[in-house]
Each structure stands twice: as structure tokens, then as C-alpha cells.
Amino acid sequence: MEPYVRELKVNNEREVYEGDYGGAGISGFGGWLIVFSIGLILTFISAVYSLVDYLWPMYESGEAAAYFSDYPALGTAILVETVSHLFYAVVPVVLGYLCYKRKRLFKTMSIIFLLVSLALSGLAYLAYSFVSEAAPDFMDGALRDLIKTGITCVIWTLYFIKSERVRNTYTA
């Protein structure tokens, strides 16, 4: 939609009312949304790999049940890890669908995904801290993951709140 233009009789000038402009501006799947989507795809692949290769065999063999009974703190850490990986395996698929259909809910769900990711990372760090057998290097890695998730959460949340592309693309 073009801006409303009114011809002025004096000096043949035109007056443009910017408030009446209904142009879409920048929109569509592109820019930083591609980077976010690549991150979602990699998150999904990593979560499915961890579930299939590490966690599922642990539950299938009964090893996880032994951890719950013999080492409750370690069992809790494994449970938090399992819930996190299930979350990272399911939610990116839902976000991909919302992104493809250009649903307005994509923006909100993406922000919720980022905030829940931060909460899960903090919960995992807390659960690992109660495991006395956890090596210091492992705890350093968990803290590094928590900080990285926090920075990622801040950056992408601000992007989804401020982005003109997101605002114009996801309107359905």
C-alpha cells in the first residue's frame, strides 16, 4: 500500500503523511532468522543424538534406575538431562512448523523456548553441583554452558522483540 499523498495547490508540492503508510518494510524468512533456524536444527540433531546414543541405552539397561536408588543426586541429574534433551528434540520441530506457516505464535514461542532453555541450563548446573562425584572440569563445562545459554537468550530475545523482519513476517 502506497503512502497517502495529497497534492498541494501552492507551488505544486506534495505532502506525504507517513502515519498512513502501510508498507510492509522488511519481511520474509531471511537475515538473522536463518542463523536462528540453523541453531534450532543443530539443537534438534544434538538432542536426538544424545537421547538415542546415551540416554536411551541407560534407561533400557536399567542403569538409570540403579543411579536413582544408589545415587539419588546423580539420578536427579540424569532426569534433568533427559527432560532437557526431550525439550530440545520436540520444541524445535514445533518452532519450525510455526516458522514455516508464518504464525504470530512463532515469536512468542521462540522467546519462551529461549527462557526455558536458560532455566533448564540453570537447573542442570544446580543438579550437577549436588553430585559429589562430578569432576571439576565437568562443573566448569556446565557453568560455561549456563553462561553461553544466558548470553544466547539475551541476544535472541532482544532480536525477537525488536526485529522489524519478525514483526512483519509472523502476522498470521
Which pLDDT value is given to residue 21?
A: 45
- The dihedral built from the CA positions of residue 86, 92, 95 and 97, taken in this order, carries a sign that is negative
pLDDT at 22 (0 to 100): 47
Say if CB 142 and CB 124 are below 8 A apart.
Answer: yes
Q: What is the dihedral of CA 130, 151, 149, 98, to 10 degrees?
A: 150
Q: What pLDDT was estimated at residue 20?
A: 43
Contact by Cβ (8 Å): 140, 150? no
Pair 128, 139: CB distance under 8 Å: yes
Q: So what's the pLDDT on residue 137? A: 75
Long-range CB pairs of 19-25 (<8 Å, 24+ gap) are 24/168, 25/164, 25/168
List b or e across 113-144, with b for residues whose CB sees 16 or more CB atoms inside 10 angstroms: bbeebbebbebbbebbeebeebeeeeeeebee
* pLDDT beneath 70, residues of the chain: 1-24, 134
Count Cα atoms within 13 angstroms, Cβ side, for 60.
Answer: 7
**Among 158, 124, 130, 159, CA closest to 144:** 124
